[in-house]
Amino acid sequence: MLKIGCHLSVSRGYEAMGKDAISIGANTFQFFTRNPRGSKAKDIDVNDIEKLKNLMEENNFAKILGHAPYTLNICSNNVRAREFALMVLEDDIKRMEYIPNNLYNFHPGSHVKQGLEIGIKYIVDALNNILKQEQTTTVLLETMSGKGTEIGRTFEELQLIIDNVDLKDKIGVCLDTCHVYDAGYDIVNDLDGVLGDFDEIIGLEKLYAIHLNDSKNPIGSHKDRHATIGEGYIGIDAFKRIINHPKLRNLPFFLETPNDLEGHGKEIALLKELYIN
């Protein structure tokens, strides 16, 4: 069965997200752990989380995905910004542990002219500081489009991070279809080739989740502007191949397309039609 969901707003609570997911035919979802632009996270409501856990179990949910605020920069050239990012990531992982055995995704960050090497060192140091043997949450690095000095536009950059992380079984990758396409990977004409590269450089066993987004821009644009499924340069045929690919078809897929709940429901229905059971 296709594991599919979309990004939902955490503001109404955890159980509400589970209900929203079910209402649109989803069996997983993604959410920001806190206001994506800010730092404030609500106090954990254990009761609300218990209700979500029950609902997930009853409805056979796939793993859900918490997303760090996208403004965090763990490899900033500003020490305050780095410390802040570290604090948020640490607190978010603690929050994720209330819903054990799920996924937490963050953007590796931008090195802001400090150079790739220093940027990667900051990311590695942070992860080696935060990750704990006893945690059940898998922390994912997201593939990025390569806007500005973004780290994570190539599989090699992500592997440089993973290579230097001590607790390797706590870390993985979330592949964003819009981002890799904008970064220059031809998932439209050569999906097998791209996945072959991923496997050789990182290893497909490290791939835990897919962000399913079409792109408003052509391959290699480094723009990162998401389009709804089938309305961008990637196109519906490519998405049919992506969700059915033997190396991907059992992973959870998360829509981050510019759509409301009803629109996401339509995209999910379309993808279910394209999925070969």
Site of interaction with Zn ion (CB under 5 A): 224
Q: How many residues bind Fe ion (CB under 5 A)?
A: 3
Compute the least distance from the CB of residue 46 to Fe ion, in Å: 27
- Of 136, 116, 118, 134, whose CA–CA distance to 126 is shortest? 118
Amino acid at 108: P
Pick the piece of the chain touching Fe ion (CB under 5 A) from 93-101, 136-144, 197-205, 240-248.
136-144
- Only segment of 20-28, 93-101, 146-154, 169-177 that touches Fe ion (CB under 5 A): 169-177
The span from the CA of 166 to the CA of 131, in Å, is: 9
**Smallest distance, Zn ion to C-beta of residue 211, A:** 7
Q: Using CB under 5 A, which of the segments 8-16, 36-44, 137-145, 163-171 binds Fe ion?
A: 137-145
- Min. distance of Cβ 224 from Zn ion in angstroms? 4
What DSSP element (H or E) covers 239? helix 236-244
Q: Which of 157, 176, 214, 267 binds Fe ion (CB under 5 A)?
A: 176
The catalytic residue positions are 37, 67, 70, 107, 142, 176, 179, 211, 224, 226, 256
Beta strand ranges found along the chain (DSSP E): 4-8, 30-32, 65-67, 103-106, 138-142, 171-176, 207-212, 214-215, 226-227, 253-255
Between 30 and 170, name the residue whose CB sits nearer to Zn ion: 30
Which is closer to Fe ion, CB of 142 or CB of 214? 142
Dihedrals phi, psi of 193, to nearest 5 degrees: -65, -45
Binding-site partner at residue 211 among Zn ion, Fe ion, none, CB < 5 to 8 Å by type: Fe ion
Query: How many angstroms separate the CA atoms of 25 and 57, rounded?
Result: 15
Q: Quick one: how far is CA 268 from the chain centroid?
A: 18
Q: Answer with the entry of Fe ion, Zn ion, none that 224 interacts with (C-beta below 5 to 8 A by kind).
A: Zn ion
Query: CB neighbours (10 Å) of residue 257?
Result: 22
Phi, psi of 74, rounded to the nearest 5 degrees: -70, -15
CB-based closest residue to Zn ion: 224
- In 3D space, the residue among 71, 214, 63 whose CA is nearest the CA of residue 139 turns out to be 63
Tell me which residue of 128, 135, 136, 49 sits closest to 86, measured CA to CA.
128
Of the pair 131, 173, the CB lying nearest Zn ion is at 173
> Does residue 211 bind Fe ion (CB under 5 A)?
yes
Interface contacts to Fe ion, rule CB under 5 A: 142, 176, 211
